[in-house]
């Protein structure tokens, strides 16, 4: 409840316990067992911030925060509680609400590109090992170096296939990429798609400034993320919260200490953010939490136990609300002791016993004072919400969504633009054409070589046949000559020829001798 420029959250007898506007960005913590009243407390705080003109973002994991859009109704229990608190100027009313949904069914769809998410947070979503995250980082780097935009999962799927098929050309420049790791990442992407996580990636991307705004009456919008289905996939839920936190830090400008925050974010089920988180990631979150307040942003973590939140984060949370804790084992009792010791002690009661015996709607509260110091812890009763408690009917929800100025900015269906998928498809087409051309040229060359070999073979056969024919003709000629020499006619003719020759020779020789001896 916004009162006297303060956020009245609870009362301890006649003492009002309020968050100072200029200390609201010192962050906060709401803890307590299931059913202890954490949801009501965060709802009361969100309403108060809205009335103060401060926009709010919160995740609705049970669906019962949506009633903030409707006016609350009095009943006997609420009337008794207000009388006990001594609040006479309490007003039931509705608050300006914008509904969001990663899956786009119960609110404006929240989308971002894979480029914006980056390999680190995507690895968390996919549950990848450190080595597998390294390969994913290589793939992202290849996309960046080639100017390929990664919008959605189909872009990354095709890029992974391309890198895997051509890994030899990337190894020396980027490192080893094994087909096995590529296969693991592809299977994890398929699992993410089956969870509906693919709807988170695409265009148009969320403009984080759309969470920051006020209505015509100056009230801050309460941005409610419908997370009932999303919470069924804890890794995706936690990764989304981490993406949101880092995006806020990276995109919001430095503004220093303001009179009041520009926007306040509630991180419900915050233990999921830190479950099994790598030390280097935790270090990054601690840095963001420490520095983000200078960007005018307040962060409030909600979880069952303070032990769910790392000590380095706890140290940054100045406004604390502790509902009851149930403890039976030594470990649980130790947690209660640690929670009690984190408060500035109040001599009028034992903090440890109080935590164990708080009723529903009661809490221990310590907010920062004007000097930035934690106030002495008080045992208080939380104010009731001014808006409706519980779920909202779909007709009322759809009416709010359809009347939102953001309706056309974030359509139900993602928009397609030229990205890595189309560019790699074109590369694959050119590679295929080149391959087919080379294949055709090889086939043509093989055919020509085959024809040349056939022609050479035929020429050799013809040459052989020609020589064979010549040998046959030579043989026939020799046989004919031999036959001729063996014939009677040849022999008689030879004999006559020889006799005639002898006579001629003798006659010539006689004539020579006669002339010589004259």
For 227-312, strand residue ranges (E) read 263-267, 297-303
Query: Per-residue pLDDT averaged across 154-166, rounded?
Result: 93
Residue 142 pLDDT class (50, 70, 90 cuts):
very high
pLDDT of residue 375: 95
User: How many CA atoms within 13 Å lie on the side-chain side of 251?
Assistant: 14
User: How many CA atoms within 13 Å lie on the side-chain side of 112?
Assistant: 16
- Residue 307 CA to residue 262 CA, distance in Å, equals 29
| Six-digit token string for 353 | 């016993």
pLDDT of residue 518: 57
Say what angle helices 167-174 and 153-165 make with each other, to 10 degrees: 90
pLDDT of residue 489: 67
Do residues 27 and 319 make contact, with C-beta atoms less than 8 angstroms apart?
A: yes
DSSP-assigned letters across all residues of 182-216: HHHHHHHHHHHHHTTGGGGBSBSPP-GGGGS-B-T
Q: Under 8 Å CB-to-CB from 261, ≥6 apart: which residues? A: 21, 24, 25, 49, 54, 296, 297, 298
> Among 184-188, 218-222, 254-258, 502-506, which stretch is predicted with the lowest mean pLDDT?
502-506
pLDDT of residue 80: 85
Do residues 69 and 95 make contact, with C-beta atoms less than 8 angstroms apart?
A: yes
> Among 99-103, 331-335, 371-375, 435-439, which stretch is predicted with the lowest mean pLDDT?
435-439
Query: Per-residue pLDDT averaged across 363-370, rounded?
Result: 95
> Among 34-48, 202-216, 417-431, which stretch is predicted with the lowest mean pLDDT?
417-431
* Residue 47 CA: distances (Å) to CA of 30, 57, 243, 479: 16, 11, 25, 128
- Residue 65 CA to residue 177 CA, distance in Å, equals 46
Residue 461 CA, distance from chain mean position: 70
Do residues 42 and 7 make contact, with C-beta atoms less than 8 angstroms apart?
A: no
% of the chain at pLDDT higher than 70: 95
**Residue range 328-346, pLDDT digits in tens:** 899 999 999 999 999 999 9
**Residue range 241-299, pLDDT digits in tens:** 889 999 999 999 999 888 999 999 999 999 988 888 888 888 888 999 999 999 999 99
482-488 contacts at long range (C-beta below 8 A, 24 or more positions apart): none
CATH class name, domain 25-111+206-402: alpha beta
pLDDT of residue 280: 82
Residue 79 pLDDT class (50, 70, 90 cuts):
confident
pLDDT of residue 500: 66
Look at residue 220 and tell me whether its pLDDT is greater than 90.
yes
Query: Per-residue pLDDT averaged across 178-207, rounded?
Result: 92
DSSP-assigned letters across all residues of 319-350: EEEE------SHHHHHHHHHHHHTSPP-TTS-
- Cis geometry, peptide bond prior to residue 204 (ω within 30 degrees of 0): yes
DSSP-assigned letters across all residues of 122-135: HHHHHT--HHHHHH
pLDDT of residue 60: 93
- Residue 411 CA to residue 392 CA, distance in Å, equals 22
Residue 497 pLDDT class (50, 70, 90 cuts):
low
Do residues 362 and 381 make contact, with C-beta atoms less than 8 angstroms apart?
A: yes
Q: What is the mean pLDDT of the chain?
A: 90
Look at residue 435 and tell me whether its pLDDT is greater than 60.
yes
Do residues 190 and 198 make contact, with C-beta atoms less than 8 angstroms apart?
A: no
**Residue range 402-424, pLDDT digits in tens:** 999 999 999 988 888 888 888 88
């Amino acid at each position: 409840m916004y009162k006297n420029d303060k956020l009245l959250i609870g009362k301890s007898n006649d003492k009002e316990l309020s968050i100072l506007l200029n200390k609201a960005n010192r962050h906060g913590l709401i803890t307590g067992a299931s059913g202890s009243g954490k949801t009501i407390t965060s709802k009361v705080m969100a309403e108060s911030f809205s009335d103060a003109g401060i926009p709010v973002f919160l995740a609705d994991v049970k669906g019962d925060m949506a009633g903030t859009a409707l006016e609350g109704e009095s009943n006997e229990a609420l009337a008794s509680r207000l009388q006990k608190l001594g609040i006479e100027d309490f007003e039931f009313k509705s608050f300006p609400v914008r509904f969001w949904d990663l899956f786009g069914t119960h609110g404006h769809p929240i989308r971002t590109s894979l480029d914006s998410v980056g390999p680190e947070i995507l690895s968390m979503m996919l549950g990848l090992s450190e080595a597998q995250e390294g390969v994913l980082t290589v793939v992202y780097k290849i996309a960046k170096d080639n100017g390929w935009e990664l919008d959605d999962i189909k872009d990354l799927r095709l890029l992974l296939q391309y890198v895997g098929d051509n890994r030899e050309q990337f190894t020396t420049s980027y490192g080893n990429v094994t087909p096995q790791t590529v296969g693991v990442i592809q299977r994890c992407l398929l699992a993410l798609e089956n969870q509906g996580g693919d709807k988170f990636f695409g265009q148009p991307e969320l403009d984080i400034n759309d969470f920051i705004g006020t209505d015509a009456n100056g009230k801050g919008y309460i941005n409610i993320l419908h997370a009932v289905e999303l919470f069924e996939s804890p890794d995706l839920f936690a990764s989304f919260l981490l993406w949101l936190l880092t995006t806020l830090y990276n995109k919001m400008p430095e503004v220093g200490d303001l009179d009041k925050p520009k926007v306040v974010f509630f991180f419900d089920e915050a233990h999921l953010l830190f479950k099994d988180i790598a030390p280097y990631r935790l270090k990054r979150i601690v840095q963001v939490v420490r520095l983000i307040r200078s960007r005018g942003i307040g962060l409030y973590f909600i979880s069952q136990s303070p032990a769910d939140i790392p000590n380095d984060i706890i140290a940054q949370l100045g406004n604390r609300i502790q509902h009851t804790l149930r403890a039976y084992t030594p470990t649980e009792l130790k947690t209660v002791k640690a929670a009690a010791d984190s408060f500035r002690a109040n001599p009028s009661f034992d903090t440890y016993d109080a935590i164990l015996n708080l009723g529903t709607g009661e809490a221990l509260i310590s907010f920062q004072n004007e000097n930035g110091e934690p106030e002495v812890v008080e045992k208080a009763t939380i104010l009731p919400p001014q808006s409706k408690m519980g779920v909202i009917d779909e007709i009322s929800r759809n009416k709010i969504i359809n009347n939102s100025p953001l309706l056309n900015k974030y359509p139900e269906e993602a928009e397609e633009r030229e990205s890595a998928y189309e560019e790699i498809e074109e590369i694959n087409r050119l590679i295929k054409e080149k391959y087919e051309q080379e294949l055709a040229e090889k086939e043509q060359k093989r055919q020509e070589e085959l024809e040349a070999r056939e022609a050479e073979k035929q020429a050799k056969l013809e040459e052989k046949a020609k020589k064979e024919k010549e040998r046959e003709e030579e043989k026939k000629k020799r046989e004919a000559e031999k036959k001729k020499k063996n014939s009677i006619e040849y022999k008689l003719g030879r004999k006559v020829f020889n006799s005639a020759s002898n006579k001629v020779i003798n006659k010539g020789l006689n004539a020579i001798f006669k002339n010589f001896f004259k």
